[in-house]
Each structure stands twice: as structure tokens, then as C-alpha cells.
Amino acid sequence: MENNKKNLKNNSLKNKKDKPSDNFDWKRASKTSFVWLAIIFGAVYISGLLTEVGKKEIEIEYTEYKKFLKNNDISKAVIMGEKFYGEFKIPQSLPNKLGNQLDGISHFKLTLPFIDRKNTEEWDAAGLEYTFKEQKIDWTGYLLNMLPWILLLGFWFFMIKRMQGGAGGVGGIFKFGKSKASLWTSDQPRVTFKQVAGCEEAKEELKEVIDFLKSPKRFQKLGAKVPKGALLVGPPGTGKTLLARAVAGEAGVPFYSLSGADFVEMFVGVGASRVRDLFEQAKKSSPGIVFIDEMDAVGRQRGAGIGGGHDEREQTLNALLVEMDGFDNTHNVIVIAATNRPDVLDPALLRPGRFDRQIVVDAPDVNGRLGILKVHTKNVVINHRKVDLLAIAKGTPGMVGADIANIVNEAALLAARKRKRSVDMDDFEEAKDKVIMGVQRKSMILSDEEKKVTAYHEAGHALVAIKTKGADPVHKITIIPRGRALGVTMQLPMDERHGYTRDYVEGRLGILMGGRSAEMLIFNEMTTGAGNDIEQATQIAKKMATEWGMSDLLGPMTFGKKSEEIFLGRDMGSSRDYSETTARMIDEEVSRIVRDAQRLADEILRKEIDVLHHLAKELLKYETIDSKDLKIILEGKNLTRPINAKVSTKPKRMVKRRAKNNILDKKKNNSVVKTEKSEAVKN
């Protein structure tokens, strides 16, 4: 155990040194880039200024040199090897190589074929002052000429380093094959199983893995082998990644975590190299745990891609399969992976010996949601006298841990916005409505006609739901626009449902068509408000006919084989395995089921038309009606609560201060009035 801690500490230090920074500061990088560009242009400009003197020096022909020497136009000269650098007594006008006339030339140079005594006699005869110097390398000139290129190369290396996240220039190119896994260390925030609620079975399965890592001899005495891997399967937001973090907090062994997308890069072979490097690091500090999030990004079934069997993703998967259960399987490295698409994973990855356990992390039940609420409200200041967590848990069926955490956070934000000292039940109800139904669109103003149509539409939904046997109770009705809907009728089931009867599904279809039936019954016209209802009803009716076997005409059969093209998402399309006659029968059956649902809604609303008018009238008056108000309306009574009653959300101290200020203001006003009256009497 002590060796594991030492290895964990050493690996964490190494990981901190080697791991590139993920937070790329674009603002800083842009500023640095501008600085580099300014340096480059400045260097080019300075180089031009320094070589400005060279513009006054021109290379001339030998015949021109003889002419200037004969006319005594040359005053000085420096001879370096076979090079003759001369200076004119008076600046000359000479043509350059392009034939353009240059004025003010004071220096020139040329290459002499040889230098002997005859040349020196000519220079002496012309009265020329000349000196001989040893030829040296002009390093300054070389550096000035090379400076712009050096700066360009430096800027190029700088940009490569930035693109690699600080990997370090050319050396960083060879680090592409290194694993990007982050190593959990003891100084990081720790998550334990006490902070995970709603998935007790999954916790028990993972506790066995942790116990094996902590005391393997207890299991090995009985001949048990360490499980190679555990696959966490479940919908998004159920807490798969949180469970893995809890394993890291409980295990006390090296824990490497990364995403499936971190393996694959634009370069071929990088993914497989990273897999090998990851397991090499884990084996050095074994026993250890490797956690791969979003496993479907790298573990999809092979042979379905456009690139055949040699694409980058498949090479990465092959390397992963070998590392998990290859020839060398002596190291105690357990792989934990999480995915919400187990159906697209390769069968070789799911077999025992690689992922021995598939742990389902499903949506929590009432007790699970209550436990999640207790975990998330632990650090929230709530009013325990008014807040009933069990009622909130019962009112959030089908929600996962992420949804419940969002409701708690929204309730705390609402309470803080209203300047409350604690979070009340009203805040939780408002937050729940916001998450389920959407945000109130107060800026959207509806005309009186639109409000009336929306009120009857939602009243139709609610009334059909109330009169349908076995339907979920109506929780709330509102005609205030929320999200993309002009009105919402919200139902909450009393019990947890995992399977649905045919009567329940047909009743659900009738509730969906209740809005359109109310519009036709009252206004004798159709509106686009029922578009989403009809879409849902059509989908349910199609599943009844083709998947659930709930059609008397078609019988207990399924139609339409789902496509197995993993590259296209597997569920993106389906192939028809039935004839044109059967397709026509399916269409007719779907139409019949939806029309029967509408007829059922019509019958209920015609019988209860007085209740429909009463409910729509109260909706137009109060805009939002809950289950308590609905009970009063069904008894034939009118609602008596204040319209849009607002509760004071200011703290009591502020209210008292404001009341005192109002009393003082009244006293001041009375004294001013009295003085004005006395002055008027005097006048």
C-alpha cells in the first residue's frame, strides 16, 4: 500500500510536468503573435537602414575604373585581396545594372584581375592614397542579412509550440503518441460513495472491484481472478462519470482518466500509440484503474466505416483489445468505461475477459431521487419547515441525477434573486416548472383571440386526461408561453411505471388529441397549435402498429428492420422487410388509431362541454391552474384566490425599515401641510 502511494505521488508529479496545459489563452497568444510580427518587420526595416550606406556604393567595370584613374577622380582606395574599394573626390552620376541613372555615388568597388608593381606605379602617378588590408569575413553583414530569416524561423517554432499546447517545438511533434490521461492525486477534490445516490446496485458492483484492489489475497485464496473491466451503461446524466470519480476517491490506487475522443487524432497511428502508452504507465504503478469516458467514441463496431478495416479508429480499438486481454495479462490494471450507446460497441470488447461486468446505471426511482435531492441540498440553505423533499422526488418521475441537480440549483438561484434567506417550496416548484416546461416568455404578448384558443386547447387536454381511466393526474395547466409552447398541460404519474398497457397508451393518444378536438368543437377550425401533439400521437401509433404488436389488423408482429450501419449511427435508418401491401396496411392502421383517439376525445368533450367552458374561463382569468384549483373547478365552483397575487420577497428588516420611512414621510408631509395652512390663514 505504501509503495502504491509512492508510485501515485511520483506519477502525479511526472504527470503535472509532462501534461500540457488544456486552457489555451487566445488573448495572450494573439498579443504575443503581434509582438513577433512587430519584431520581424522592425528587423527588416533596421536591416534596410543599416544597408542604406551600401546604396551609395556601386560596382563598376574595369574600363570605367581605368577612365576614373586617368582623370584623377579617385581620392582613396582600400585593397583587400583582389577587391578594390575606392572613393571619388566628387560624387559621380553613374548608371546601375538596370541602366537607371544614380546620382551622388561616392564609393565604388570592382575586382582586379591581378595586382602587381605596374598597378602601384599607376596609383602613385595618379596621387592616389591607397592601403592594403587583410580580407576578413563580414559577420555583421551576414547576421544582418540572416536576421529576418532567423526571426521567421523563431516565429514558426513559436506557432508550432502554441498549436501543440506548449508541447515544446519540434520535440512536441514526437509527443503526439503519448497518452493524455490525467492521473488522480490525493490533493485533488475527493468524491466518495456517500456523495453518490440513486444507483445502489452499481455502487455494490464497484465496491467489489475496489475491495479486490485493496486486498487481493482474500480473493486469490479462493481462486478468484481480478475482473479485467467494468462497463457503466445508462442514459446521459445518470451519474456514470460521478461513479468513476467516487471509485477514484475510494480506491487509493493510481487512477487514470481520459475520454474516448482523446485517443484519435488527425495523424495515423496516434490512437494506438496512446493506448499502448496509457497501459504502460498504468502497469508501472499497478494495481491501478483506467477510466475511459464516452467509450463509444473509440469502441464502435469494426468493419462499418468508409475506410474499410484500416482506419485510425479501428487501429486504436485493436490496440485496446490487445492491451485489455492479450498475451501479457499479468498486471492488475482494471478498466472502467462509461457509455450511453452500448448497442454500437464491438462484440469483442464486450466479451468476458475484457469487460467482465456491464453495470446498468438507470434513471433512479423515488427513493433514489430522494437520496439525490438530499445530496445536492446538503450545501443549500433550505427552509426545512416548508420544503418537502419527498414531494419533490415524487413530482420528478423519469428525471436523472443531472436534472435533479439542475432543479436544486435553479431553486437556489431563484431564491437569491428574490433576496430570500432560504429556499422555499415555492422556489422548488417554480424551478421544476422551469426545467420541465421551459422558461416563461413574459415578453411574448398574445392577442385575446390567441389566448382564448390556447385556453380551450389546454382545457381540452386536461379534461380528457381527467375523464380517461388510468391516466396520469393533471398537475398544472398554464396558458403562459413557456419554451416554444403557447401553453402547457403537465401530468405527473402517481407511481413509477416501467411497462404500459394498451388501454394506457390509447388513453395517452386521446389526451394528445384533446387539444385539437376542443378547437374543432368550440371554434370549428384548426390551428397550428396542435402540430406537436399530432406528431407525438403519430409516433406512438406507428410504434403500436410496427413495434409493440398492439394492432388487431397486423397482429403481434414487428415491421422494419433497423439498419446495422454503425458508421451512420446504427439507428439513423431502417430497411423495409415487408411488401408494399403491408406498408399500405401500416399507414392505414396508424391513421385509424389516431382517428379513433380523436373520436374518443370528441365524445368526452361533448359530454363535459359545460366543464370545458368553465375550465377555459378560469384559465383566461388566472392563466395558471394547479391540481387544487382544478378540484374546485370540477366541483362547479369558481376560484376565489387573488389574481396574480404577489408575495413580498423582501427581508423583514427591509420591510420594517421601509414602513418606518413611510411613517416619517407622512409626518413630514403633515407638518408641511400644517405650515402651509397656517401661512394661508396669516395671509
Radius of gyration of the chain (CA): 42
CA pair distance 354, 123, nearest whole angstrom: 95
**Are 644 and 621 a contacting pair, CB within 8 Å?**
no
Nearest CA to 594 out of 547, 551, 560, 554 is that of 551
Task: Please tell me whether residue 57 adopts helix, strand or coil conformation.
Answer: strand
What is the rounded (10 degree) CA torsion for 51, 52, 53, 59? 80
CA pair distance 167, 114, nearest whole angstrom: 57
The CA-atom distances, in angstroms, between 289 and each of 10, 184, 210, 338 are 16, 10, 10, 13
Nearest CA to 238 out of 333, 340, 140 is that of 340
What is the rounded (10 degree) CA torsion for 509, 511, 513, 518? 160
CB environment 283-317: b (16+ within 10 A), e (fewer): bebbbbbbbbbbbbbbbbbbebbeeeeebbbbbbb
Nearest CA to 569 out of 235, 233, 261, 305 is that of 305
CA pair distance 289, 248, nearest whole angstrom: 8
Percentages of the chain per state (helix, strand, coil), in multiples of 5: 50, 15, 35
**Are 545 and 583 a contacting pair, CB within 8 Å?**
no
CB environment 347-364: b (16+ within 10 A), e (fewer): ebbeeeebbbbebebbbb
CA pair distance 233, 404, nearest whole angstrom: 20
Q: Where are the beta strands (DSSP E) in 273-397?
A: 288-293, 333-339, 357-360
The residues annotated with a catalytic role in the active site are 458
Region for 205 from its dihedrals, namely left if φ exceeds 0, alpha if ψ lies in -120 to 50, beta otherwise: alpha
Cα–Cα–Cα angle for 393, 398, 401, nearest 5°? 65
Residue 97, C-alpha cell as written in the block: 545594372
What is the rounded (10 degree) CA torsion for 388, 392, 393, 399? -160
Look at strands 129-133 and 74-80 and give their pairing.
Answer: parallel
What residues are paired with 101 via a beta bridge?
95
Cα–Cα–Cα angle for 38, 40, 43, nearest 5°? 105
DSSP calls for 159-188:
HHHHHTTS--HHHHHTTTTS--PEEP-TTS
Task: Please tell me whether residue 629 adopts helix, strand or coil conformation.
Answer: helix
The CA-atom distances, in angstroms, between 190 and each of 34, 206, 207, 380, 512 are 42, 17, 16, 20, 47
Residue 287, C-alpha cell as written in the block: 494495481
DSSP 468: S
CA pair distance 575, 316, nearest whole angstrom: 30
Nearest CA to 425 out of 656, 647, 255 is that of 647
